[in-house]
């Protein structure tokens, strides 16, 4: 009787444990494809390709030859014209990081972060000591602006569909409007529901 009771309790514990919400830590580089939507693996592949294309592009050597110093880049906006919500920041940050770590390209802050920086500078004008306050008008001007777009083509048929994402990044000379580099990455998937 005692044994049956113990077994019953053990079984119920096991059953309850199996129904519980479960979270497992995984390596970000091995993100599995669950729904077929854009995921971290796609972002990582895009970042790797863009870093490789950008840092080996002719624009870099041309700029160094003409100006004698490394180019300064500012990040503009990326338009997501695909059928999914995609945040470009995930792969753009990797690209920006590569610019800094390789020390081949200089990077200046843009957007809301720049606004915050300027607001901090404004605050310093009245609150910081004279020896530590940072002056206005000494920011580094960017030579190039990095802009991009994400497009997708979906071809569904019954339970199957093929999706192709195209990510394009364009680097333009701010002074001359000349496009100096275009990087692209295409990712295709076959999804069966």
Partner 1 sequence: MKKILFTILVVSASFALKAQELAQDQNPNYKVSMDKYTAAQATLQTTMNTTVQNTYTAYDWRIAKSKRKAENRSYRRERALSNQYYYNNNYGYRNNYNQKYYRHRCR
Burial environment of residue 136 by CB neighbours within 10 A (0 to 12, 13 to 18, 19 or more):
exposed
Cα angle 172, 176, 180; round to 5? 35
Number of residues that bind partner 1 (CB under 8 A): 28
b vs e for 57-95, b when ≥16 Cβ sit within 10 Å of the residue's Cβ? bebbeebeeeeeebbbbbbbebebebeeebebebbbebb
- 133-152 mask for partner 1 (x: CB under 8 A)? -----------------x-x
- 14-53 mask for partner 1 (x: CB under 8 A)? ----------------------------------------
Query: Minimum CB separation from partner 1 for residue 184, in Å?
Result: 17
Query: Minimum CB separation from partner 1 for residue 17, in Å?
Result: 30
Query: Minimum CB separation from partner 1 for residue 172, in Å?
Result: 14
Helix (H, G, I), strand (E, B) or coil at 190: strand
Dist CA 51 CA 169 (whole Å): 11
Burial environment of residue 13 by CB neighbours within 10 A (0 to 12, 13 to 18, 19 or more):
exposed
- 92-121 mask for partner 1 (x: CB under 8 A)? ------------------xxxxx-------
Cβ nearer to partner 1, comparing 31 with 110: 110
Dist CA 63 CA 106 (whole Å): 12
Partners of residue 164 on adjacent β-strands: 153, 188
Q: Is 82 in the site for partner 1 (CB under 8 A)?
A: yes
Single out the segment in contact with partner 1 by CB under 8 A; choices: 17-25, 42-50, 81-89, 181-189: 81-89
Cβ nearer to partner 1, comparing 84 with 120: 84
51-80 binders of partner 1 (CB under 8 A): 75-80
Dist CA 61 CA 181 (whole Å): 12
> Site for partner 1 (CB under 8 A): which residue of 50, 88, 107, 167?
88
Which chain residues interact with partner 1 by CB under 8 A?
Answer: 75-89, 110-114, 150, 152, 154, 156, 158-159, 161, 193
């Amino acid at each position: 009787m005692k044994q049956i009771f113990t077994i019953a309790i053990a079984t119920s514990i096991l059953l309850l444990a199996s129904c519980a919400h479960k979270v497992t830590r995984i390596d970000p580089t091995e993100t599995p494809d669950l729904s077929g939507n854009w995921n971290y693996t796609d972002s990582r592949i895009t970042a790797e390709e863009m870093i490789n294309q950008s840092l080996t592009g002719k624009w870099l050597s041309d700029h160094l030859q003409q100006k004698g110093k490394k180019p300064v880049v500012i990040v503009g906006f990326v338009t997501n014209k695909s059928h999914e919500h995609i945040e470009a920041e995930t792969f753009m940050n990797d690209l920006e990081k590569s610019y800094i770590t390789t020390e081949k390209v200089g990077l200046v802050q843009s957007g809301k972060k720049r606004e915050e920086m300027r607001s901090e500078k404004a605050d310093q004008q009245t609150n910081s000591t004279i020896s530590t306050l940072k002056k206005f008008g000494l920011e580094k001007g960017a030579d190039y602006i990095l802009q991009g777009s994400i497009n997708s083509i979906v071809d569904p048929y019954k339970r199957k569909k093929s999706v192709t994402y195209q990510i394009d990044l364009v680097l333009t000379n701010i002074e001359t409007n000349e496009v100096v580099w275009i990087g692209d990455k295409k990712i295709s998937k076959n999804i069966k529901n």
